[in-house]
Amino acid sequence: MSTIHKQLVTDEEGRPVGVLIPYEEWLRIEQQLGDAAGANGIEQLRQHEGLIHLSEDPVAYQRRLRDEWA
C-alpha cells in the first residue's frame, strides 16, 4: 500500500479526534477495501448460511443452566 497523506484533527487539549485525507486517496482506499471484501462481504457470509439443528429446546437449556447456579 502506498503512503497516505493525512492530517490529524485534535481537540482543545491536543488529543487526536479525527483524520483528514484527500478525497482521491479516500476513493482509492475504499476501492481496495471493496476488492478485499468481495461483493460487500455478502459472498463471504453466504458460506455460513444454513440451518442449525438443536438437540434441546433453547429455553429449557437456559433454565437448566440457571438451575445449576441456584
Which class for 25: exposed (0-12), middle (13-18), buried (19 or more C-beta within 10 A)?
A: middle
Closest CA to 34 of 12, 51, 26, 64: 26
- The pLDDT, as a whole number, for residue 40 is 60
Rounded Cα gap, residues 48 and 32, in angstroms? 24
Q: What is the mean pLDDT of the chain?
A: 85
Identify the H or E element spanning 19.
strand 16-20
pLDDT for 10-36, tens place per residue? 999 999 999 999 999 999 888 888 766
